[in-house]
Structure 1
Amino acid sequence: MIVFDLRCSAGHRFEAWFRDSDTFTAQAAAGEVGCPVCGDQKVEKALMAPRLNLRSHARDEAASAPAPTAAAEVPPAQPPAPADPA
């Protein structure tokens, strides 16, 4: 699935999901895509900012791996020291 930013001839911008670019082209040509604001069926892809994955694959794997867990050792409780009368 791919999301496209779309714009109608009246200038309204909206998003829509499609299986691929060819599916959008076919549906738009058949008049099956309409603006949710005004109903205009003359829509085109709006200019979109690219989505870049700049993180390395190794960092993604490390981030998704579960962190090791260890049982925390709790020291035994000790009674308080007696007060020193001065």
Structure 2
Amino acid sequence: MLRTPTDETRLRILAWLREAGPAADGVTADTVAERFSIPRPVAATHLRLLAATGMLSTSRSAGRVRYHRDDMRIAEVARMFEKGW
């Protein structure tokens, strides 16, 4: 699940979700697809993988899944890699 695509889309998504604005309230797969000009199923896959690793949390709003950064988990993963995990 930690495989990184060659275009670093998952890293770009995580960086975007750190910004203030629309991403601050969480995003849907449709929002990510539009923002990064990728097909919705591809965006959904990236988001599901990031959620499965704990880097994103989810909530439901109006029947849609919204994804949010989990900064504590991201910091934890970064520390593991810094220690040579």
Q: TM-score, normalised by structure 2?
A: 0.26
Q: Which has the higher helix share?
A: 2
Structure possessing the higher radius of gyration over alpha carbons: 1
Q: TM-score, normalised by structure 1?
A: 0.26
